[in-house]
Every structure is written in structure tokens, then in C-alpha cells.
Amino acid sequence: MSQEEVEILDDFLVETDELLEKLDIDLVELENSPGDLDLLNSIFRCAHTVKGTSGFLGFTTMTELTHHAEDVLNKLRKGDLQMTAHIMDILLQAFDLIKVITEDIRDGKGDSQRDISGVVGRLSSIIAGNVDGDGESAAPAAHHTPTASVKTDTPAAAKEPKKVAAKPAPAAKAPAANDNDDKKKGGGDQTIRVDVERLDSLMNLVGELVLGRNRIAQLTQQMETTIGGEHIEALSETSAQLSLITTELQMAVMKTRMLPVGKVFNRFPRMVRDLSRELKKEIELVITGQDTELDKSVIEEIGDPLVHLIRNSCDHGIEIPEVRKASGKPALGTVHLAAFHEGNHIVIEIKDDGKGIDAEMLKEKAVEKELITEADAAKMSRTEALNLIFAAGFSTAAKVTDVSGRGVGMDVVRTNIEKLNGLISIDTEIGSGSTITIKIPLTLAIIQVLLVGVADESYAIPLVSVIETVKVPRTEIKTIEQKRVLRLRDQVLPLLELSKIFDITCEEKDYFYIVILGLAEKRIGLIVDKLLGQEEIVIKSLGDFLKGTPGITGATIMGDGRVNLIVDVTSLLEMATESGL
């Protein structure tokens, strides 16, 4: 295959992926608005484009399958057929099979590996007039089927919530239709395809530049205090200008790696629609903030945890219609998925109006599964009880199903979030619903840290995990069962000494600096000698030899050329738990 043919095939795969993603969203929206002719025409055009491009490239199996789906859509838009739940099921099956065939083509297997006769037969049956699906209900989809709507903040988008188009990935080219529109306007191509590895390399170089900037800034500051003079003043101005330009360059490069979180959110309307059918519930998914942008590396990691959380909201949270009506709620349950910025972080909320989580029930289940003792359960706070849901092997499902009850999931969700230096918390009210909040950094490459000193060593603590810092006299540090604790306001905090964790000899002092660290509901105090200030650092891997060192997650190079280790807050909390704190 020539280079030109490879590029044509790559463009076809990128465009097909985008069209299939859009079809998933639009088909679910069509089920809620079966009379929306504009939406139906848009779906038809997408299917027609897939059929045309696959036919041009000789993928006959994909062309045949898409052709039959297109015939059904054509009858729907002409009014010869009325949308039913059964017709929607078959159309979704067809486009799911097209996704599988697309993956086969991407893997070099061609498009003839899959048997399409079953789906083609069902589509042909619908075209022939059998819309009941061999006895299946043909009730209109808008009557007793789930809904999945998307809301946006902009007025124009609010008029057409179904038209959610995610920006292409860095390695992708914008769809050909958009290119043609731009060319008609005389603007030419507005996007280019860039290999992700090139962006990663550029990001790494910018990271090195940030380190160089920090070094120059520190040297300039030292020279101002020791030498002074006209030339040093000019150097200081140049250093400040370099710092400003480096910051702007860093932000520009980070934005090239940013993708709208809608890239992940777009898969959920279809998922909720399928879950609603399977669980026999009526569920509306409301999405806001899908234009909020995240680093590509974070986008890739956040998908699976969100899938599990939304499945849990649908399965455990939202009740069946009969139960909701009996408790005075509308039959239609709502799951709200929202994303928004908060400083240098993004917050993702999954909120449902279901039955909520009973903390006492969680305690009973945990005792029953021997995860905790009855004595432990008796002295647990409500927050601690709610966080039992994150324990490994914990499940509240009465029976194992395809949706839940396998005893895995929420512990993996929390682990994956913590790997992203993120936090996850639960707020719930029995009878009113639950809210799960995830807070993660916008990027994993460059972070804000608090620099602390122990003897002659200095360490970096990710600022996202720092709740506050306090300076306390030695007399306020108490010892309970040979473990140091601090009473801070109305809370007793267990204390860890950074010097003992890393085996550093330091002098006893009359006062301590304590960094209060938090992860989810857990709080501990970290005893250090000095607070050295905040700084923006570039995270460097420790390499295979030092990988997995307890208490350390990476390293960075400081302005004076020294290597600072970055403290792993999750690991410290595990140490505290293991030691009985």
C-alpha cells in the first residue's frame, strides 16, 4: 500500500469514527424527538457519507450493511415508517456492527470478517413492513423508553442540544465536510494532522525550558542581592520577560494537547439508553459542561471510572418507575453529568435523584463480608461509612448481573482517580439521591507543589492534596498508644514524620510545621522542618530502578540544579493506615 493510500485510509477511519460517534448521540436524541425531521435528515446524511466513502474504498460488506440502515432511515424521514423502540434497537445494532468492522479495517483485517446477515435480515424485515420485531412491542420510543439529553450553556447550542461535535484528537483531521465548507469560504484547511508523539516531545521540551527558566530566575535573584548594578538590573528584566514568554508558551503547548471532555461524555447517552432498557427503568441523562477541556492523557484515563460510576447510578441509584411513583417521585429518574473548571483542576459531578445510599446498610454489609468488625462499625462516622463503598470486594448488589454485583469496581475507580492525582468524594441523602464528585488536575506533566524542608533535604508535595499548613509548639503534639497526634480545632489528626519515613536525622525543635494532607475523606498531618514556598514543577519519572519507591511518586529538577523528590500522598495515607493511625 502506497503512502498516499495509507493517508486516504487513515482519513477514512478518522472521519468514520467521528460520524459513528455523532450517530450514537443523534440516534438516542431521535428516540426522544421522533418528529424532528432535521435531526433525522442529519442522521441520514451521516449514514450516506459512511456508505459512500466505504464504497469508494471497496469495503463492500460495510457498504451493504450501511445501505440497508440508510433504507430504513429513508423510510423514516419520508414518513413511511414511524420510529419504535424495536426499530431503534436494530439501527443501533447495525451501527455497532459497523464500528466493529471499522476496527477490523484499522487492524488490517479488511471488512469481510464479520457476518452481517442477521442484522441485514432484521433491517430488511423492517423495510418490508415488519416493525414489531416478531412480537416485540412497537410502542413509540418516546412513551416508555429512556431519554438522554445533552444541555449546553450557549444559547445557540441550547436550541440544538443534539448537535454535540467534539473537537478532533491531535492525531485527527477534521471531517471532509467541514474542510469543504472552509474551502468554499476561501479559508483553506483550518486543521492539520499532527502525530501525538510530536506533541509529547514538544511538551517535554517545554518542560525542560520551564526548568531552565526557574534556574535563570534563581541565579538572577542571587546576583541581585550579592552584586547589583545596571547590568544585573537589565538581566533581571530579561529574566522576567523570559519567564512570561515561557509561561505563555507552556500554556499554548498544553492547549494543543487539550480535548473537550465531551469526547468521553458522548458515549454515555447511548449507554444510559441501553441500561434503561435492560433494567426496565426510565432514566434521563443530562450532560452539561462537555466543552470543558482536559489534557489528552487525562481524557484517556477518566473514561473507565466514569462508565462505572454512571452504571452504578443507573443500577443502584435510580429506582424502578413503580417505586419512584410510590415515594412521590416522577417515574423518570435523572442522572446529571457535569464538568467545570475550578482553578487548575476540573471537577466532574455525577448526580442522581435516586434512593441515595444508606450508611448504616453499608456498615452491615461490610461486617457481613468481614471487611470490618462490629466494633469498627460502631465508632465509624457517616463519612467513613460512606467510603466503605470504595473497599476492595465490596458490593451492595443483591445478585450478580451484567451491570453490577461482581464485587469489583468502586475500589478500582478510586485507584484510577488517585493515579491521576485526583480526589473522589460522595455526598448522599436517603430518598433524594447521591452526588459523586471527582476533582482532577488539568494536566499530569506540570503541577503546582508545596516545597518543604527536612534537615538539609527538600521535598515537593502536590498542592492539590494540601488542605492547610500550621505551625504548632512541641507541647501541642500528643502521644496516644505510641503514635503522635494533633488536636486541630475539633478534629484529632494522626501525624507522620517525613524525617522518619525517609530515615533522615534532624534536630529536635521547640515547634513544628505540619502540612495537613487530604485524600477523599482521609486527613493526616505531615511533620516537616521548614516551609519553602510554592512552585510550578515539571514531573520526571524515577525510571525502572527506583520505580515503586514507597512514599515517592516522581522527581523534579529545581532552579539550583538539585533534584527534588515528589511525595506520593496516596502512599503516605496507606502507610498511616497500615500503622494503625
Q: What is the pLDDT of residue 477?
A: 84
Q: Are 185 and 163 in contact (CB under 8 A)?
A: no
Question: CA 324, 354, 361: angle at the middle one, nearest 5?
Answer: 105
Could you give the CA distance from residue 172 to residue 169 in angstroms, rounded to a whole number? Answer: 5
Query: How many CB atoms neighbour CB 561 within 10 A?
Result: 11
* Residue 24 falls in which region: left (phi positive, over 0), alpha (psi -120 to 50) or beta: alpha
Q: Are 45 and 39 in contact (CB under 8 A)?
A: no
Could you give the CA distance from residue 452 to residue 535 in angstroms, rounded to a whole number? Answer: 11
How are beta strands 511-519 and 522-528 bridged, if at all?
Answer: antiparallel
Query: What is the grid cell recorded at 362?
Result: 453499608
CB-based burial label for 463 (10 Å; 0-12, 13-18, 19+):
middle
Query: What is the grid cell recorded at 366?
Result: 461490610
How are beta strands 293-295 and 258-260 bridged, if at all?
Answer: antiparallel
Amino acid at 381: S
**Total-model pTM:** 0.67
Could you give the CA distance from residue 230 to residue 218 in angstroms, rounded to a whole number? Answer: 18
Domains of the chain: 3-139 (1.20.120.160), 196-256 (1.10.287), 259-440 (3.30.565.10), 446-578 (2.40.50.180)
Distances from the Cα of 344 to the Cα of 123, 341, 440, angstroms = 49, 7, 9
| Side-chain half-sphere exposure of 347, counting CA atoms within 13 A | 11
Return the C-alpha torsion angle 292, 463, 305, 296, nearest 10.
50
Query: What is the grid cell recorded at 343?
Result: 482553578
Q: Are 27 and 42 in contact (CB under 8 A)?
A: no
Greatest extent of the chain over all pairs of C-alpha atoms, in Å = 91
Q: What is the pLDDT of residue 336?
A: 94
Marked catalytic residue, from 48, 67, 144, 345: 48
Q: Are 448 and 408 in contact (CB under 8 A)?
A: no
Q: What is the C-alpha end-to-end distance of the chain, expressed in Å?
A: 63
Q: Which of 352, 366, 266 is nearest to 309 (CA)?
A: 352
Question: pLDDT truncated to tens, each residue of the chain (581 aa)?
Answer: 677 778 788 888 888 888 888 888 888 888 888 888 888 889 999 999 999 888 888 899 999 999 999 999 988 888 888 888 888 889 999 999 999 999 988 888 887 788 888 999 999 988 887 766 543 433 333 334 444 444 544 333 333 333 333 333 333 333 333 444 444 444 445 777 777 788 888 888 887 888 788 888 888 888 888 887 788 888 888 988 988 898 888 778 877 878 888 888 888 888 898 888 888 899 999 999 988 888 888 888 888 889 889 988 898 889 999 999 998 899 999 999 999 887 667 889 999 998 888 888 888 888 888 778 888 888 887 887 888 888 776 766 555 455 554 344 688 888 888 778 778 888 888 988 999 998 887 766 677 889 998 888 888 988 878 888 999 888 888 888 778 888 888 788 888 888 888 888 777 778 888 998 876 667 888 888 889 888 878 777 776 677 667 778 788 877 667 788 888 887 777 776 666 55
Could you give the CA distance from residue 287 to residue 517 in angstroms, rounded to a whole number? Answer: 32
Q: Are 495 and 528 in contact (CB under 8 A)?
A: no
Helix ranges restricted to H, 389-535: 410-419, 498-501
Dihedrals phi, psi of 523, to nearest 5 degrees: -135, 135
Could you give the CA distance from residue 165 to residue 185 in angstroms, rounded to a whole number? Answer: 21
Q: What is the pLDDT of residue 534?
A: 86
Is 387 annotated in the active site? no
Could you give the CA distance from residue 259 to residue 296 in angstroms, rounded to a whole number? Answer: 6
Is 312 annotated in the active site? yes
Could you give the CA distance from residue 64 to residue 77 in angstroms, rounded to a whole number? Answer: 20
Dihedrals phi, psi of 391, to nearest 5 degrees: -70, 145
Query: What is the grid cell recorded at 438?
Result: 471527582
Query: What is the grid cell recorded at 82?
Result: 414511524
Q: What is the 3-state secondary structure (H, E, C) of 96-128?
A: HHHHHHHHHHHCCCCCCCCCCHHHHHHHHHHHC
How are beta strands 563-567 and 491-497 bridged, if at all?
Answer: unpaired
Return the C-alpha torsion angle 53, 56, 59, 64, nearest 10.
70
Could you give the CA distance from residue 504 to residue 433 in angstroms, rounded to a whole number? Answer: 48
Marked catalytic residue, from 312, 387, 421, 564: 312
- The residue behind cell 441485514 is 120
Marked catalytic residue, from 70, 293, 301, 418: 70
Query: How many CB atoms neighbour CB 470 within 10 A?
Result: 14
Could you give the CA distance from residue 301 to residue 305 in angstroms, rounded to a whole number? Answer: 8
Strand, helix or coil for residue 73? helix
Is 70 annotated in the active site? yes
Query: Which residues have C-beta within 8 Å of that of residue 117, sequence separation ≥ 6?
Result: none
